[in-house]
Structure 1
Amino acid sequence: MKTIQVGIIGAGRIGKIHADNLMKLANVEVKSIADLFADEDLNDWAAARGILNVTKNNLEVIQDPEIDAVFICSITDTHVPLIMEAAKAGKHIFCEKPVSMDITQTMQAVEAARINGVKLQIGFNRRFDHNFKRIESGVKAGEIGNPHIIKITSRDPNPPPESYIKSSGGIFMDMAIHDFDMARFICGSDVEEVYARGAVLIDPIFGKYEDVDTALITLTFANGALGIIDNSRQAVYGYDQRVEVFGSKGNMAANNDYPNTVEISTKDSVYRDKPLHFFLERYNAAYMEETSLFIQAIREDNQVAVDGNDAIQAELIALAAKLSIKLGKPVKLSEALGLAEGG
């Protein structure tokens, strides 16, 4: 079996996670890693894993004829030009979300991958969570009939620092975008209309960047179902990730994951440990699964599990949510796309 050679661009936390996961797969080699701020620490980290080539030059990775695929894990502003270069070089591409903050640029990147005949998978890892996969498969199999209401709760344990907030793209593009993709995935239908409300209830710093830290979003799907998403940048009890689907024949729900199943009962209270702390703990297995399926798609020439259209649709929902707050009314995705294309 041919060894698939991979290059990673961006050696931050997520880039290193992907590198470690790739090295767990048979007949896969991480040949190179590129990062603008590559230093001695990164060289030591890479050497300990047998990654012999560390560079500050992204093009050195992309233009290497031995590399079959690249993982783009750098900052969002770099994604589109890197996808363009990688597609032109004939490399298969895994790109972290969002592809960009500009839907028209995202469309151009997706089209570049299509024209050049390379695979493009987007890093919506939550689709591969064991709980959420079970709900999606149950809905798809008709276990609860036609879906009527999809409820998603997504709350972070702590707000990010100002340095992150100012360039994050806002709560809808940075945080809720995972939930927008999850809603489409579980419902099995595209979203047609979005109505969002937001507030700054945790830290005034969000308002400084015209962002919110607390949000409610309602979705209207093409199949008639309705969706409700609630987001918060701070849940003091831990990482809160829940999904519920109510349908014509029943209900399915996925609760939080916990470090154990122990429940402690005393005369004063009944309690258990907090949920898994944050996304690295909660979605560790999901990151492994998405990586494995991407490599499998390359090896077997299959469709990728999360494609460019999924990126476009999630970003469109995020754009519509942002416009909805600004306009104070529901916004159709077609309207959001028209405004984006019109500049």
Structure 2
Amino acid sequence: MRKIKIALLGIGRIGKIHFRNINRHFPHAEVVAVADAQLSHAEFKKEYGHVFFSNRPEEAIAFPEAEAVLICTPTGSHAALIEMAAMRGKHIFCEKPMDLSLERTAALTRMIESSGVKLMLGFNRRFDPDFMQAKKSIEEGKIGEVQMVKITSRDPGLPPLDYIKNSGGLFMDMAIHDFDMARHITGKEATEVFSKGSALIDDAVSQAGDIDTALTVLTFEGGACAVIDNSRKAIYGYDQRIEVFGSGGMIQVENILRNRNTLYNEHGIHQALPLDFFMDRYAESYLREMELFIRALVDDQKMPA
């Protein structure tokens, strides 16, 4: 099996996850170039060794050995980097979203289709083992026709205010994963969308032009509905649950807890809190999505997301 050589753009929180996963788990792939605007060359070399490094993403994209690019930079830079990579004939993995503008996203999609390069977006939750099993059971008809989907997605705490200002907002940064999961689970596109949101956790969120609490109702082709609730702060931890109700049954995917012990005593019944945040809760999904990205390049197959 040939080795896929990759340029990584952005080595912040999610970039580090991909860098380490590729190095530790995929002998048929290698990160050969990294670009990050925040790190110095000395800082990078100290932590990551002798991989080509630049503060300029265009230099990593142009690195001759790299045939694929991983875009893990802030949202506002995605579109330009996608264009740059596609123009050089590099296959692309990009963290969501492609862009905050629907018009530019559509234009990027057309450009990718005409360029011949492959593009995968980082909707990693599709590849969570529990969610994959739920999807498989639905496809096998184990709950009949899907009628309702309920998705709960609540973060353990507000992100930094600077992040909120540049993220695209709760819907484009956070709920976008849940919109994708609702489409993925039902296998259909939404025909109607109703959303309501407020800033209930911190007034600074409202002052930044965003919300921290939201409820969305999606209506799909055929009439099935999905209800999604989002919060930036659940005091008990990272709350990630899905319920799918059908004509022949129901599937529930519950939180993964820090341990499986249940304590019973005179004060009640006690369980551990959910895993801390997405890096832990969705660790397996990040491995799986990168495995599928690399495999699609090696086998010249269609991207799975």
| TM-score computed with the length of structure 1 as normaliser | 0.86
Q: Match of 2:214?
A: 215
- Counterpart amino acid of residue 128 in structure 1: F
Alpha-carbon distance in structure 1 between the residues aligned to 2:281 and 2:108: 30
Q: Is the 8 A contact 1:3 1:29 kept in 2?
A: yes
Q: Deviations over 1:144-168 (max 9, x none)?
A: 0000000000000001121111112
Matches within 5 A, 1:196-211: 196-211=195-210
1:20 correspondence with 2:11: no
How far residue 65 of structure 1 moved from its aligned partner, in angstroms, is 2.5
* Other structure's SS at 1:227 match: strand
> Is 1:41 paired with 2:39?
no
Q: Residues of 2 paired with 1:273 and 1:4: CA distance?
A: 41
Cα deviation digits, residues 295-339 of structure 1 (max 9, x gap): 000001111110xxxxxxxxxxxxxxxxxxxxxxxxxxxxxxxxx
Partner of 2:177, secondary structure, is helix
Deviations 1:94-124 (A, max 9, x none): 0001111111111222222211101100001
CA distance in 1 between counterparts of 2:11 and 2:209 reads 30
1:38/1:54 contact within 8 Å kept = no
Matched, 1:83 2:85: no
> Could you say what secondary structure the match of 1:292 adopts?
helix
- 8 Å CA contact 2:100–2:172 kept in 1: the answer is yes
One-letter code of the match for 1:261? R
Residue 43 of structure 1: how far off its partner (Å) = 2.0
* Uncovered stretches (5+) of structure 2, i.e. residues with no partner: none
Query: Are the counterparts in 2 of residues 110 and 120 from structure 1 also a CA contact under 8 Å?
Result: no
Paired position in structure 2 for 1:31: 32
Q: Secondary structure at the match of 2:166?
A: coil
Kindly indicate whether residue 148 of structure 2 is the aligned counterpart of residue 146 of structure 1. no
Alpha-carbon distance between aligned partners in 2 of 1:14 and 1:268, rounded to the nearest angstrom: 41
- 2:265 matched residue in structure 1: 266
Query: What is the CA RMSD across the aligned residues, in angstroms?
Result: 1.0
Q: What secondary structure, in the 3-state scheme, does the structure 2 residue paired with 1:302 have?
A: coil
| Structure 1 segments unaligned to the other structure (5+ residues) | 307-343
3-state SS of paired residue (1:174): helix
CA deviation after TM superposition for structure 1 residue 259, in Å: 2.0
- Give 1:253's aligned residue: 252
Match runs of 1:320-339 below 5 Å: none
Q: Kindly state the Cα deviation for residue 12 of structure 1 after the two structures are TM-superposed.
A: 0.8
**Residue 216 of structure 1 aligns to a residue in which SS?**
strand
Deviating 4+ runs (over 6 angstroms)? none
Once residues 54 and 203 of structure 2 are traced to their aligned partners in structure 1, the CA distance between those partners, rounded to angstroms, is 39
TM-score (norm 2): 0.97
Cα distance in 2 between the residues matched to 1:191 and 1:45: 45
Instruction: Indicate if the aligned counterparts of 2:189 and 2:220 stay in contact, CA closer than 8 A.
Output: yes
What amino acid is the match of 1:88?
M
The alpha carbon displacement at 1:44 in A equals 1.2
- By how many angstroms is 1:130 displaced? 1.1
Amino acid at match of 1:8: L
Q: Offset of 1:15 from its aligned partner?
A: 0.8
| 8 Å contact kept, 1:152–1:228 | yes
In the other structure, the counterpart of 2:166 is 167
- Aligned position for 1:158: 157
Aligned to 2:9: 9
Take 2:302 and 2:114, find their aligned partners in 1: how far apart are those partners?
15
Distance in structure 2 (CA, Å) of the matches to 1:33 and 1:201: 39
Q: Match for 2:12: what amino acid?
A: G
Aligned-pair CA distance for 1:276: 0.3
1:210 is displaced (CA, Å) by 2.6
Q: Give the C-alpha shift of residue 28 in structure 1.
A: 1.1
Contact 2:9 2:35 in 1 (8 A): yes
How far does residue 64 in structure 1 lie from its aligned partner after superposition? Answer: 2.1
**What SS does structure 1 have at the residue aligned with 2:135?**
helix
Tell me the alpha carbon deviations over residues 243-268 of structure 1, each in whole angstroms, 9 at most, x when there is no partner.
Answer: 00000001000000012211011111
Give me the identity figure in percent: 44
Q: Which has the larger displacement, 144-153 or 196-205?
A: 196-205
Per-residue CA deviations over 1:194-234 (Å, capped at 9, x if unaligned) read 01111221111121123211111000001320110000111
User: Residues 5 and 29 of structure 1 are in contact (CA less than 8 Å); yes or no, is this contact kept in structure 2?
Assistant: yes
Shift of 1:178: 0.4
